[in-house]
Chain A
Amino acid sequence: MIRGRFGVDVQFTDSTIAGGSQSLKTLTLQGASEYDFGKVALVSGTCGTAVVSVPVAPTTYRDSGGNVISFASVSRVAFSATGANLVACDGSGGCGIEDWTIYSRAGQVAVSEALETVAFSVNVYGTTGTAAYTLVMYGS
């Protein structure tokens, strides 16, 4: 049984003072989704500029019962990579018309809806560098 959540919280204030008067604008974009069914897997590894394939059917992750997780479709992902270089996570199945790619570096997490049935590809974006990555996949 799985239970979990994806939470994203973006909040900014933009203020200015002029002539003794302060103006303030706030920007907020927030979303929190709870999940009490489905499948979840976490895959971590290292990569360079060469593409590393992260298959989803099956993954390399074993659940609490010791069973290897295999997705029919991954619907949401969170991706994090270390280091100063941007690291790309590509979906082969894609979402919509465009190729699907998200980026992370320095431990900053990227999240997105996905429609992946085959494998994700992870690589350092650019011509040099290595990184450690973590990919959390949720789906069915």
Chain B
Amino acid sequence: MTNVRGRIAIDVQFADSTASGGVQSLKTLTLQDATEYTSGKVAIVTGTVGTAAVVVQTQPTTYKNATGEFVSFESMSRIAFAATGKLCNCGDVNEMSIASNNGHVAATLVNLPGGDTFVVTPDQPAGTASYTLVIYGT
């Protein structure tokens, strides 16, 4: 049995300024969240995708935990996904789908049972992309 601890932090901040007639106006936009996790399961799966979609299994995953056992999820609650090379989607069999390109990390909550798979789909058929998917759950 392993002890999982971690955090997912998202920090979006923008400053929007305008100078006119010697007066400067400033608006700031902020959206932030940091969640700590002290239990559960986590797995990281990496791979490449070319012209066809790639299926990522979750029961079990291909990731081995600190004890050397494959991580297998009973439920999944949050994922983070990053792709480089070309725009890629990461979706499930229902409706969830997030997209990444240029290494921009995408993240979303999910409410999925273990055994549901994720599908990494390229937006364009040409070329290849590398992807990383982090799955958190129980």
Contacts and interface: CB of A to CB of B under 8 A. Distances in A.
Contacts of A24: 66
A27 B4 CA distance: 10
B106 to A, nearest CB: 4
A96 interface: yes
B7 A9 contact: yes
Interface string A1-41: 11111111111111110100001110101110101000011
Interface size class of A (residues with CB under 8 A): 35 or more
A40 B100 contact: no
A33 B20 CA distance: 29
A78 B35 CA distance: 16
A35 B14 contact: yes
A138 interface: yes
A116 to B, nearest CB: 11
Interface of B: 1-18, 20, 25-27, 29, 31-33, 35, 37, 42-44, 65-67, 78, 80, 82, 87-89, 91, 95-111, 119, 121-123, 132, 134, 136
A120 interface: no
B16 A1 contact: yes
Contacts of A23: 66-67
Contacts of A33: 102, 104
A136 B13 CA distance: 9
What 3 pairs across the A-B complex have the smallest Cβ distances?
A: A4-B14, A12-B6, A31-B105
B87 A14 contact: no
Contact of A111 (B16, B17, B97, B106): B106
A27 B44 contact: yes
A111 B32 CA distance: 11
Given A24-B66, A96-B99, A136-B29, A14 B2 contact: yes
